[in-house]
Structure 1
């Protein structure tokens, strides 16, 4: 499962870098051909960059939702659930130790 996530992340990262390079090359070609001014090229680049970031965020959210669904289907607890349970166990151990100490103290007094 971990390898699948890593592979997916690297694939997405590679696609993003490749796309960014293609956008920069395309905008440079437009500048060289005189089809856009430097300001228009910068505006276009910023616009495409913003759109790419929005798309990446949407993809990331969908991926997280899908992973949550897979984890639920496989009955895997989340880190938050695990931490809550760990804290509950620690609290119960402290209470149990306190009760045992109280019982031992009462037994010694008897």
Structure 2
């Protein structure tokens, strides 16, 4: 039983890096040694695969959070911080229209053309 616990802990620590096939191999080895019954083997495999997927997601989140924190610390712009080309054009167009109106340089027709 101590061997089962030790293997489960070792498997659990690096579970996210194991494939389902590798987990099944380890569980089959435990079944052959009599440490796990055939009846419990399928449930054990499913539980270990589920835990591995959870660990993988936790690891992804941790890496993402660390990267975002590093970007913030270095004040590096993210994609959502950038202005799209079309939005930039819209801003420039609006500024140009305001200047033309203020300076009374363009006619209403000219301004309407710029709004398109």
Q: TM-score, normalised by structure 2?
A: 0.60
Between structure 1 and structure 2, the one with the greater Rg is: 2
Rounded to whole Å, the distance in 2 between the matches of 1:81 and 1:39 is 54
Runs (5+) with no aligned partner, structure 2: 1-15, 111-116
Return the structure number with greater relative CO, CA threshold 8 A, min gap 6. Answer: 2
Rounded to whole Å, the distance in 2 between the matches of 1:70 and 1:51 is 28
Question: Could you say what the CA RMSD is over the residues aligned between the two structures, in angstroms?
Answer: 3.0
Q: Following TM superposition, by how much is the alpha carbon of 1:100 offset from its aligned partner in structure 2, in angstroms?
A: 6.5
Runs (5+) with no aligned partner, structure 1: 1-14
Aligned equivalent of 2:45: 45
Rounded to whole Å, the distance in 2 between the matches of 1:23 and 1:32 is 14
Aligned equivalent of 2:79: 79
Rounded to whole Å, the distance in 1 between the matches of 2:96 and 2:78 is 29
Higher helix share: 1
Rounded to whole Å, the distance in 2 between the matches of 1:28 and 1:77 is 50
Matches for 1:1-110 after TM superposition, within 5 Å: 16=17, 19-20=18-19, 21-82=21-82, 85-86=83-84, 88-99=87-98, 103-105=105-107
Instruction: Please give the secondary structure, in 1, of the residue aligned with 2:93.
Output: helix
Matched residue count: 90
